[in-house]
Amino acid sequence: MPLQRPKGTQDHLPDGSPKLSRDVQASAFRHVQEVARRALERAGAQFIGTPLFEEAELVQRGVGGSTDIVRKEMFTVYYFGDHGGYVLRPEATAGVVRAYLEGGLKQLPAPLKLWTHGPMFRAERQQKGRLRQFHQVDYEVLGSPDPLVDAEAVALMWAVAVQLGLQRGRIKLGSIGDPADREAYNGYLRALFTPHLERLSDDSKDRLTRNPMRILDSKSAQDQDLIGELGVRPMLDFLGEDARTHFGAVQASLRAWEVPFDIDPSIVRGLDYYRRTAWELHHEGVGAKSALGGGGRYDGLAAQLGGPEVPAVGWALGIERLLLALEDEGVAFPEVQGPLLFLAAMDEQNVGLAAQIGLQARKAGRVEFAYRALKPGSVFKEADRRRARLAAVIGSEEAARGVLNIKDLKTGESREVAVSELHTFLEERA
Ligand code: HAM
């Protein structure tokens, strides 16, 4: 058997591949990226690219030492003797903030809107919608604490989903308060869970000391039973005055703009850098535990990485999960176009000439040509298989007169076109 790809990875296959599903279709990926790019650039976001691997310390400090991502899911690469190791990035935000600080982007007009897309890596157990290499579209706004910026970010995530055709997504919106609010909440949780320590999973015993809020996000049934029994109060009850006002303003804008959302009073995100606004986009087609996207405000992250305080908010959408949800809803995508022109010679001595005409004709659009002589019948068959718009044949007689025989495969109409006129002819039909 030929070698196989690693577990938890996918190939992105060309259209027409026999084993095609929406989440492995390369053209579907590009469509999502393109819709997102258009929406984000219209909102003023500029593209930023960062490395696929970063210093392990950046991810530890950025994403947070108490998260599953850092504790269990890092792909670490040890390369130079005593170097602390690199990690394949599990998400984009920490790298973007590092680049913002390192590149002096604080000097650009604020708030600075950035976007990126690409592969992320988490060593998770493989299941539907849960991959080890997956892809995100990511949007970050740096330099403003204004709740209007949070609301715009939520609205943009929603707009991308809607523009892709998603109808049954739900935004769950919450706030995890300021650090002092979270400290108070963690104190409450510690007091609540400590008498039941024995009933917690080993992971959650550890979470109780490091970051008790993480217990609420536990995947263990044992933990979830206990959480249910204890009737845990939500984080939202512990918001201080400032965070409460901020959260109210975010909601007011979203309501005014008719962006639908549900309040999730106890939202827990899988990363430690969040403050105040936090949200996720959910869809029943990929399961209750798996969000299509998530985001939030992270005012403390830049300082956590050694820089100044930079208020910021952002989100990421998982492309594979979006595609699963869109497939679940039966959303159709625009068909990928075939070539404008498929060109072939009828005899061997004109194959080179057909290629030369084809190469030049590409100024007008997508042009493909045959690499050997074809009979006229085969030319039309080949052109049809490639879903070409026009098919052209050239034989010795046409070559001598400097013309091509072109058939419009949509209308069935044929005509002779001078090679010197080909560019104009194609441009009119592109
Ligand atoms: P996240 O919630 O960890 O947030 O990931 C965002 C999205 O990436 C998820 O909602 C999901 O669609 C996708 N995703 C995550 N893990 C996997 C996986 N193993 N397989 C498939 N898809 C996955 C972040 O990454 C934050 N950096 C978002 C953000 C940006 N916050 C502020 N700025």
**Pair (275, 361) in one structural domain:** no
Query: Does 418 appear as a known binding residue?
Result: no
| Whether the Cβ atoms of residue 391 and residue 409 lie closer than 8 Å to each other | yes
CA distance 282 to 140: 20
pLDDT for the residue numbered 193: 94
Tell me the CA–centroid distance for residue 417 and ligand 1, in Å.
54
Q: What does the block give as tokens for 100?
A: 């913002």
**Pair (265, 375) in one structural domain:** no
CA distance 227 to 54: 36
Contacts of 137 (CB under 8 A, 6+ apart): 32, 33, 36, 40, 115, 116, 117, 160, 316, 317, 319
Would you say the CB of residue 134 lies under 6 angstroms from ligand 1?
A: yes
Q: What does the block give as tokens for 57?
A: 């310390």
Ligand 1 nearest-atom number relative to CA 298: 32
| Whether the Cβ atoms of residue 323 and residue 285 lie closer than 8 Å to each other | no
Tell me the CA–centroid distance for residue 326 and ligand 1, in Å.
17
**Pair (157, 302) in one structural domain:** yes
| Whether the Cβ atoms of residue 329 and residue 161 lie closer than 8 Å to each other | no
Q: Is residue 370 part of a domain?
A: yes
Query: Does 182 appear as a known binding residue?
Result: no
**Pair (394, 317) in one structural domain:** no
Q: What is the CATH number of the domain that holds 120?
A: 3.30.930.10
Q: Which of 293, 328, 363 is the last residue of a domain?
A: 328
What is the residue with the minimal CA distance to atom 30 of ligand 1?
A: 315
CA distance 341 to 58: 50
Q: Which of 328, 349, 381 is the last residue of a domain?
A: 328
Query: Does 274 appear as a known binding residue?
Result: yes
Would you say the CB of residue 93 lies under 6 angstroms from ligand 1?
A: yes
Domain, as residue range, for 399:
341-425
Please name the amino acid found at residue 157. Answer: M
Q: Is residue 292 part of a domain?
A: yes
Beta pairing partners, 344:
393
**Pair (38, 107) in one structural domain:** yes
pLDDT for the residue numbered 334: 84
CA distance 391 to 381: 10
**Pair (45, 152) in one structural domain:** yes
3-state secondary structure of 171: strand
User: Is residue 278 packed enough to be buried (19+ CB in 10 Å), middle (13-18) or exposed (0-12)?
Assistant: buried
Q: Which of 259, 293, 328 is the last residue of a domain?
A: 328
**Pair (255, 311) in one structural domain:** yes
30: left (phi over 0), alpha (psi -120 to 50) or beta: alpha
| Whether the Cβ atoms of residue 190 and residue 208 lie closer than 8 Å to each other | yes
User: Is residue 312 packed enough to be buried (19+ CB in 10 Å), middle (13-18) or exposed (0-12)?
Assistant: buried
Q: Is residue 226 part of a domain?
A: no
Q: Is residue 351 part of a domain?
A: yes
Would you say the CB of residue 294 lies under 6 angstroms from ligand 1?
A: yes
3-state secondary structure of 205: helix
**Pair (135, 19) in one structural domain:** yes
Ligand 1 nearest-atom number relative to CA 131: 20
Please state the domain count of the chain: 2
**Pair (395, 317) in one structural domain:** no
**Pair (38, 162) in one structural domain:** yes
pLDDT for the residue numbered 422: 97
Would you say the CB of residue 175 lies under 6 angstroms from ligand 1?
A: no
**Pair (298, 375) in one structural domain:** no
Test site for ligand 1: of 132, 136, 164, 176, most ligand atoms within 8 A of the Cβ = 136
Q: What is the CATH number of the domain that holds 365?
A: 3.40.50.800
Query: Does 98 appear as a known binding residue?
Result: no
pLDDT for the residue numbered 147: 98
Instruction: Indicate the DSSP class of residue 130.
Output: B
Distinct helix (H) and strand (E) counts, the chain: 15, 16
CA distance 356 to 329: 46
pLDDT for the residue numbered 288: 61
Q: Measure Cα distances from 384 to 8, 54, 357, 387, 430 in Å.
A: 37, 47, 20, 5, 17
Tell me the CA–centroid distance for residue 271 and ligand 1, in Å.
9
**Pair (279, 392) in one structural domain:** no
For the whole model, what pTM was predicted? Answer: 0.94
Q: Are strands 414-418 and 403-408 parallel, antiparallel or unpaired?
A: antiparallel
Q: Are strands 390-394 and 53-55 parallel, antiparallel or unpaired?
A: unpaired
What is the residue with the minimal CA distance to atom 10 of ligand 1?
A: 293
Mean pLDDT, the chain cut into blocks of 10 residues (430 residues total) = 94 91 92 98 98 95 90 86 85 98 97 98 90 97 98 98 96 96 95 94 91 90 93 95 98 98 92 95 83 97 97 98 95 90 97 97 97 93 95 96 95 96 94
CA distance 106 to 302: 11
